[in-house]
A and B are shown apart, each in its own frame.
Chain A
Amino acid sequence: MALIKCENVKLSYENKVVLEGLDFEVQSGDYLCIIGENGSGKSTLVKALLSLKSVDGGSITFGDGLKKTEIGYLPQQDGARKDFPASVGEVVLSGRLNKRGLRPFYSSEDKKAARSSMEQLGIWELRKKCFRELSGGQMQRVLLSRALLATSRLILLDEPVSGLDPVVTNEFYKLISELNKNGLTVIMVTHDISASLKYASHVLHLHSEKPFFGTKHDYSKCECCKEFIGGEEKCCH
């Protein structure tokens, strides 16, 4: 059974339809890239997958016994929390919260997990620093660390590399790819099509007329999508 199955999904705000007739499936272990222009509804779809937004038609079903507490999420950066006093350690540790249930405080096991995640991402030295004083790249790594602690099975990343320099971006992709090879299912929103084609297994191209969904192999063969890659959009699939 599929990990996530979307059937004829319709998403809208008030009376403005953002997406309609969307069909796709994500299997365990897949690496799905969601691409599309600004405002095509990528973030909206991610929110719907996380049940942060209600579906206005069709259905999204979770299979393989996937629970909400097994999902990690790296939100699109919107410049919020500019004045929030929180240390890096506090932010990362909060990723373990969904493992705690009703139990108060964090156990030493939680702290150990947070430490190894921070070490893996090279932010252990930053743990006492204030989150709001970090650079964009450091912030993304902190939020990724938190997202990874929250999940063992599925992670959703909304434009994780925006604002990162090319070197850090590449490291970021490699890391995600590594995690994917170890069995983590990845759904990533990105504008970086060449990277999608390099690392992803599937591509979902949101498009006002007809969304494309298929393996990256099919996607790279689709003539019209090549033009999107080339910069000129005129898709027909």
Chain B
Amino acid sequence: MLSLIKEMLSYPFLVRTFVVGILVCTCAALLGVSLVLKRYSMIGDGLSHVGFGALAVATALNRAPMAIAMPVVILTAFFLLRMSENGKLKGDSAVAMLSSSALAIGVMVMSFSNGMNIDVYNYMFGSILAVTRNDVIISVLLSLFVIVLYVVFYTKLFAVTFDETFAKATGTKAGLYNMLLALLTAVTIVVGMRLMGSLLISSLVIFPALTSMRLFKSFKAVVISSAVVSIVCFVVGISLSFLFSTPAGATVVCTNLAAYLLFCLLRISPTV
């Protein structure tokens, strides 16, 4: 066990993966609780696909991927929020349409710019090797930004998640905090996309929250448990993927699935 840890930490790219991954997992898990409870989880999914499209276009134009993807995804987040607030987002079909269009456009753009050494697979499913030193610095800063804002506005985010109408009625600017939630989600998804891939990042948002809600009954407990579950699943998943040479992103998602099933069992078992 100890030698495995030692061996893994001797690879700089794995150390980078752990640093970025743990931070991104924490962000995704914290935000995920509110997104799932507000029935916004489709928005996370939509954003990751739009992010993929934006990354593809950025690479084709030979621009810094994050500099393009970040504003595009943030604007999309505000747009989707607007639509769902107006009640126009019925049945999530609009998000599904947006997702698949962005995905298709991304793939098209990539196929046109062939000679540019782009790997569609990397963008869709993520690549640990793609994490560079610069990526690490930007990702760490952005993740810390998300975590700090989440903690500072925790009480407000709880209020707009639990009962937006009451919050609005008693003078809390619910619209503003919904936008904060959308902004933080957008940032988390863009940061996490390189690592997990756009197809898998949204599962990092949804899974830990759903898992924790199986067992815990207060908001705070669910939030803390989500963060812990998310980090543990990430570390275990990456280690397994290193041991058995399986794809990193997919392994992490499978670990999350296993954790979910475990929590379901714990709930059924009479001792809890």
Contact = CB atoms under 8 A, between A and B. Distances in A.
Contacts of B163: 75, 81, 94
A73 B170 contact: yes
B165 interface: yes
Contact of B165 (A70, A75, A84): A75
B155 A105 contact: yes
Interface residues of B, number: 27
Contacts of B155: 94, 97, 100, 104-106
A98 to B, nearest CB: 4
Contacts of B167: 94, 97
A106 B159 CA distance: 13
A94 B158 contact: yes
Contacts of B158: 86, 90, 94
A71 B170 contact: yes
A157 B169 CA distance: 12
Interface in A153-190: 156
B171 A98 contact: yes
Interface string A78-106: 00010111110111001101101000111
A91 B163 CA distance: 9
Contacts of A150: 166, 170
Which residue, B172, B216, B217, B220, has most C-beta atoms of chain A within 10 A? B217
A130 interface: yes
A135 to B, nearest CB: 16
Nearest to B168: A52
A100 B152 CA distance: 12
Contacts of A95: 170
B218 A87 contact: yes
A62 B163 CA distance: 24
Contacts of B218: 85-87, 89-90, 128, 130
Contacts of A6: none
B217 A146 contact: no
B81 to A, nearest CB: 18
Contacts of A72: 170
Contacts of A86: 158, 162, 218-219
A42 B264 CA distance: 43
Interface in A39-98: 50-52, 67-73, 75, 81, 83-87, 89-91, 94-95, 97-98
A85 B170 contact: no
Contacts of A83: 213
Interface of A: 50-52, 67-73, 75, 81, 83-87, 89-91, 94-95, 97-98, 100, 104-106, 128-130, 133, 146-147, 150-151, 156
